[in-house]
Amino acid sequence: MPEKIYDAIIVGSGAGGGMATKILSEAGMKVALVEAGPFFDPKDPVTATQMKWPWESPRRGASTNRAFGDFDMSWGDWKVDGEPYTQKEGTDFMWWRSRMLGGRTNHWGRISLRFGPNDFKHRDIDGLGDNWPISYDEIKPYYDRLDKMVGVFGSKENRRNDPDGYFLPPPKPRLHELYYIKGAKKMGVDVIPSRLSILTKKLNNDRGVCFYCRQCNRACNAYADFSSSSVFVIPAVNGSGQVDLYVNSMVKSVTTDDEGRATGVSFINKEDRKEYQLKGRSVVLGASACSSARILLNSKSKQHPNGLGNSSDVVGRYLHDSTGGGRVGFIPALMNRKTDYNEDGVGGMHVYSPWWLDNKKLDFPRGYHIEVWGGMGGPAYGFGFNASDLNKHVGGVVGGYGDKLRDDVKKFYGAVIGMDGRGEAIARKENRCELDPKVVDQYGIPVLRFDYKWSDYERYQARHMQDTFEELIHSMGGIPLGDKPTKEQDYGLLKPGQIIHEVGTTRMGNDPKTSVTNKYCQLHDADNVFVVDAGPFVSQADKNCTWTIMALSMRTSEYIVEQYKKRNI
Amino acid sequence: MKRRDSLKTLLVGTIGGATLASVSGCQPETAVDSKTETNPEGLYGRLPKEIEHDEKVKAEIYLNEHELATIAVLCDIILPATESAGSATDAEVPAFIDFIVKDIPSHQVPMRGGLMWLDSEANRRFNKEFIACISEEEIQIIDDIAYPDPDGEKPEMGPGIEFFNLIRNLTVTGYYTTRMGFDDLGYTGNFANTWDGVPEEVLANHDVDYDPEWIAKCVDQSKRLTIAEWDDDGNLLT
């Protein structure tokens, strides 16, 4: 049998790889999609967790087997069996991997924010980090098409750095969110309807409409939210006949020829634990920012002695994650609520606060947005722990048992509100992932070693978050719970990686000496290799990265199609 | 083409004795069906390794009969039946606690040690184990450990207070994550519905309102099944 040569080999089936699979296959290119995890379809009743009851889990949803709980639809979390990662001494980066078709998009928060004009040129504003080689105006047409292709609810707000799009209508706020809106407005914090890729209205005939179970993290069997599995990959595999899907196939490296151009990939089949190769005219990496960097670093050859695309020594560098901090408050006015209505809503907040201040007047350079949670959610493991403690704030008796305890549980149900800040960190060259010189995973592939430290830019931002949360809780008539994090605790700043927005490891730029890809996410060092995950991000913005991953992947994929038609690849 | 036909993976044994050098460029040829048989009821989408883990945990024995009997008594002191709701043992909370201390091993020593502490305390006061006590005697001990002691007025009760907090937490969580608990709490979610805002009568009890300008942006649920179309400025037309 003659050797099959694919037009493109796509590595990873998440947001970036899924988009590339759709665009390239629909353009008639013959595609191999290579995924390290098994097949997954949110519709498959065998693996589905959506709409299950807590008592179906013997641990009532506790996190023994899955870090975000028994019902969370991520196969793999901070740990993946047999696939460790290591840390430089004194650092602690957390890395989430979902090993399954669609990757992390099966359980993500669906927060779908465009980056704004400032976000692409932030160095011009504060002199920190670097500008992107592209502007908002260049990406806008792709965001516009993405909105219509995938669906996102939101509202027109005419905020310069939070651009509007083609939105489905947002859901009405829940009760605790009305308290948040009122409290935020009173203190001058902006608040608008949230922007999530959940179908509150029919988008097309292929996908269902949200039925308000609040369980997007379990993957939607009606395909009413965005998962790359349901929205991109499965339709592409079923539809065009152009896609060969390889699952349980762990890509180790990109193979290259004497000219240093890619010839395909080398991968481990997890089922027989043997190494195989696929041949392709181009390779599109969408394995996730860190995994794609790892593949490039492991692709050493005579032509690329420092790893493929790494003549600049920039692969793995400029790694940065969103900052994170949170606080919880008790709202006495929400005690003894009427419970006889279903408040589940969509899977996530119905309202949020985009960044509302000017950093020129603050002691930290970049902004953050605030996510809000609360309400009468479905009980799971942990529900009712220390149920009567809130009595101490309202003159009641803490402790007890019997009918008094039952009354306490009901009295305080839905009376707690939480806020999480998600902010922009400064990308720094020293923060990186690199190959560990000694450690391999169970497939014999050198693993990543992380080396990431926060700076005062992020710490002072976290301090501002905490001050804001406290003020917001008071403004809502509430009482902040727990202790305010101190300087010694980095003001509650979560660990790098913990927000799962890691970006920047193969950053784009016009200068091959200081960047890995050009503005089309094409390697400077090998013109038939592209990166479509969050690796090419120059900076993260105070937004979530997925919507920009997909807009960039669409743009890069169409560039690949163009190059293919011109026979450049 | 059916999904199952289009899924490709390599089959073990199709390339005998393959090595890195010899398989360069080889192609996977065999389509396999990734679907498995439907899970037995109650497995809520478990992966094989999770089923294996759970079976292993279930087969282990940690708490003994006496400990479980004591837990049952405590559970029903913590959440006895009411006119409208069953008790913690009606909701099978002891079985949940039996499982969860095996599943989360950090609970084990505090649970076992706390139960032993309770028996010692009952022995000290009444010269018998806790479950042999009459109701008034049980309650006499429980009243000493069911409330915090922030000023350290009864230091000898410290371990008991800590233990009671643990078993109260596990009892409440175990109870309110059952159908019986949902009904008692009034949680009515986890079924398909259409969220159209906080009911009027609920809003009336709170000092918050829907801003008409905000609501005008929100979904009109009567048109949710009409396919979205926009004008060039992003205004929804349908």
Q: Are B224 and B109 in a shared domain?
A: no
Per residue, the 3-state secondary structure of B32-55, as one string, reads CCCCCCCCCCCCCCCCHHHHHHHH
Crossing angle (nearest 10°) for helices B108-126 and B93-103: 130
Q: Residue B25: what pLDDT?
A: 36
Q: Residue A2: what pLDDT?
A: 64
pLDDT tens-digit series, residues B122-131: 999 999 999 9
Calpha distance A502→A85 (Å, rounded): 15
Is the pLDDT at A51 greater than 80, yes or no?
Answer: yes
The predicted model gives A83-94 an average pLDDT of: 98
Q: Are B124 and B178 in a shared domain?
A: yes
Structural domain including B142 reads 3-185
pLDDT band of residue B43 (cuts 50, 70, 90) is confident
Using CB atoms within 10 A of its CB, is residue B12 exposed (0-12), middle (13-18) or buried (19+)? Answer: exposed
The predicted model gives A144-158 an average pLDDT of: 98
Q: Are B9 and B79 in a shared domain?
A: yes
Q: What angle do CA A243, A229, A351 make, to 5 degrees?
A: 145
Q: Are B17 and B64 in a shared domain?
A: yes
Q: Are B51 and B109 in a shared domain?
A: yes
Q: Residue A3: what pLDDT?
A: 79
Q: Which residues of B touch A333 (CB under 8 A)?
A: 206-207
Q: Which residues of A touch B210 (CB under 8 A)?
A: 172-173, 178
Structural domain count of chain B: 2
Using CB atoms within 10 A of its CB, is residue A479 exposed (0-12), middle (13-18) or buried (19+)? Answer: middle
Q: Can you tell me the ipTM of this complex?
A: 0.95
The predicted model gives B98-109 an average pLDDT of: 98
Q: Residue B40: what pLDDT?
A: 52
Contact A345 B195 (CB under 8 A): yes
Closest CA to B47 of A51, A214, A49, A231: A49
Is the pLDDT at A1 greater than 60, yes or no?
Answer: no
Is the pLDDT at A472 greater than 50, yes or no?
Answer: yes
CB distance from B120 to chain A under 8 Å? no
Whether residue A529 contacts residue A254, with contact meaning beta carbons closer than 8 Å, is answered with yes
Q: Residue B41: what pLDDT?
A: 54
Q: Residue B11: what pLDDT?
A: 28
Q: Are B143 and B226 in a shared domain?
A: no
The predicted model gives A178-199 an average pLDDT of: 98
Q: Are B205 and B155 in a shared domain?
A: no
Q: Are B163 and B221 in a shared domain?
A: no
Q: Which residues of B touch A406 (CB under 8 A)?
A: 79, 82, 85, 184
Q: Are B216 and B148 in a shared domain?
A: no
Q: Which residues of B touch A51 (CB under 8 A)?
A: 190-192
Q: Are B181 and B198 in a shared domain?
A: no
Q: Where are the beta strands (DSSP E) in A348-431?
A: 351-353, 368-374, 416-423
pTM for the whole structure: 0.94
Q: Are B88 and B199 in a shared domain?
A: no
The predicted model gives A343-358 an average pLDDT of: 97
Q: Which of A44, A171, A277 sits opposite B195 (nearest CB)?
A: A171
Whether residue A238 contacts residue A254, with contact meaning beta carbons closer than 8 Å, is answered with no
pLDDT band of residue A201 (cuts 50, 70, 90) is very high
Mean pLDDT value across chain A: 97
Domain end (from B144, B165, B185): B185
Q: Are B171 and B234 in a shared domain?
A: no
Q: Residue A240: what pLDDT?
A: 81
pLDDT tens-digit series, residues A426-464: 999 999 999 999 999 999 999 999 999 999 999 999 999
Higher pLDDT, residue A369 or B7: A369
Whether residue B190 contacts residue A341, with contact meaning beta carbons closer than 8 Å, is answered with no
The predicted model gives A369-379 an average pLDDT of: 97
Please name every residue paired with A168 in a beta bridge, in sequence order, or none if there are none. Answer: A153
